[in-house]
């Protein structure tokens, strides 16, 4: 609940100080952003363990 209130406060502050309107970026944007964060965290963890991530081949 606190995180949601903080996010809302940041949005309102940005709208008031910069005069920008809020635009919802959609579910796809958030899923893509989440995936990037997870992959980055996995790559860092692999590097700590002395390993390297290699992308899997896409099935035809």
Q: Which of 7-11, 17-21, 41-45, 54-58 has the highest mean pLDDT?
A: 41-45
CA-based end-to-end distance of the chain: 44
DSSP 16-46: HHH-PPP---HHHHHHHHHHHHHHHHHHHHH
CA pair distance 48, 50, nearest whole angstrom: 5
- Per-chain mean pLDDT for the chain: 89
Question: Is residue 60 pLDDT above 80, yes or no?
Answer: no
CA pair distance 7, 39, nearest whole angstrom: 24
57 vs 60: which has the higher pLDDT: 57
Structure tokens, 58: 């896409």
pTM above 0.75, yes or no: no
């Amino acid at each position: 609940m606190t995180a949601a209130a903080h996010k809302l406060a940041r949005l309102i502050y940005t709208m008031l100080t910069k005069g920008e309107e809020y635009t919802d970026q959609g579910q796809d944007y958030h899923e893509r952003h989440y995936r990037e964060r997870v992959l980055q965290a996995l790559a860092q963890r692999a590097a700590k363990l002395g390993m390297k991530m290699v992308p899997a081949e896409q099935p035809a």
